[in-house]
Copies of this chain bind each other. A is one copy, B any other.
């Protein structure tokens, strides 16, 4: 594709996306295809000769689009959002065009330095502890996901405990609440510690970890000769947006010299508004922290910000230096080589899209949208509470409302299926207190009051049958 062809087809692609942005609200949110339906429409073999761009766009429209679930629909209320925005898409586009590979500072200094800088900006913007600044012993790095971030935290924690207690016996054990994300167990399995190394700590009625139970579990393990090495506290659990009490948990971790990782994948973005920062109280006791701009900060997937208070154990756990990557800048010690802060070697210039987002919206622009989402969720929760057929299943603190019809699991399953089948909205579910519970999360960039109103109308109508 010559530069001139690129200009022409690039405009077609931009217009295609702008058209999509205009139309997405009208499309059935949840794809309606059956398993295998997309594949059956694709040719069995790759094309021998190249094809015109128009054919590709035609097949995109005719074959691929029916198989899309529209995460960017303002009527998408399922899971946690994975939102995007114009400036993010264009920042990412320019990163694709530059095509630099930032494994080392030397392989594109701006890729590393902009990343370090923007992550320092976020420490400021979110009011995070200063020990996460790159100007201290710590610093931030962009990972693909919070799952990879927690794996890196586990590896750094293991490195720290093993270097401190060389040759010490005793099984390593980790702690998280019963509500923690599945990536903690997955990370422990990947690290070779196994599912059995994870202790599930009971939660309080608001779905936050009980520090007394954590302290007990740790004391029991120590008495049994195990070595507590890692706690994951969650700021906004996936099921119900429960908040673990960081200060209490942090003090227990300090007492036993245990690494505290804080996973705020979704909720962290809310800290850009000072009024929501109470959830981070005690965060200065954490060794690492993660939140995902690709969830709620208008930055398209993937972009997960991971901060450590001490980069030493992380780099010792993940650093490696073959001859063919040696270079003066690395040897000078004056630069960061992010290769040593992550599992993969290669890395994309992801800081660019985050920089575009922060520049285009400004802190105030992000605050305004986050506040609007939270206000809409609160309004929705109010509607639930004032309807005798429904009940809240968890406190609705930020932008997630967990609720259910009082008629039991079967009724809730039918409401879920009916509203999702309507195509007009998409919500997901969880189980709380062993009851099927509906989850309504507001975080798509363009969700407005009318979308939430329409969704409530759908749910309310579906409930009329019971």
Contact = CB atoms under 8 A, between A and B. Distances in A.
A109 B363 contact: no
Most chain B beta-carbon neighbours within 10 Å: one of A11, A47, A79, A111? A47
A38 B431 contact: no
A171 to B, nearest CB: 12
A458 interface: no
Interface in A135-161: 144-148, 151, 155, 158
Contact of A60 (B46, B94, B121, B430): B94
Nearest to A103: B79
Interface string A89-114: 11011101111110001111111011
Nearest to A87: B1
Contact of A346 (B18, B82, B318, B355): B82
A17 to B, nearest CB: 4
B69 A97 contact: no
A86 interface: yes
A343 B151 contact: yes
A53 interface: yes
A460 interface: no
Contact of A18 (B10, B36, B50): B10
A31 interface: yes
A429 to B, nearest CB: 7
A37 B323 contact: no
A247 interface: no
A219 interface: no
Interface stretch (A188-196, A205-213, A253-261, A373-381): A188-196
Nearest to A183: B345
A334 interface: yes
A323 to B, nearest CB: 5
Contacts of A144: 144, 344, 346
Interface in A4-44: 4-7, 9-11, 13-22, 31, 33, 35-39, 42
User: Which size bracket describes the interface of A in this complex?
Assistant: 35 or more
A22 B35 contact: no
Contact of A239 (B2, B182, B189, B324): B324
Nearest to A436: B323
A239 B146 CA distance: 33
Interface in A341-373: 343-348, 352, 355-356, 358-365
Contact of A363 (B46, B158, B182): B46
A334 B36 contact: yes
A302 B95 CA distance: 11
B182 A320 contact: yes
Contacts of A82: 99-101, 346
A105 B35 contact: yes
B99 A72 contact: yes
A233 B355 CA distance: 40
Given A1-B86, A121-B46, A360-B53, A109 B10 contact: no
Given A192-B192, A323-B431, A324-B439, 7 more contacts: A9-B90, A10-B15, A35-B109, A42-B117, A190-B318, A302-B346, A323-B430
29 contacts: A4-B18, A9-B86, A9-B90, A10-B86, A14-B14, A31-B110, A35-B332, A39-B113, A42-B114, A50-B362, A51-B359, A59-B359, A69-B106, A71-B101, A72-B99, A79-B101, A79-B107, A82-B100, A82-B346, A84-B96, A89-B97, A92-B93, A92-B96, A93-B96, A146-B345, A183-B345, A185-B320, A192-B193, A302-B348
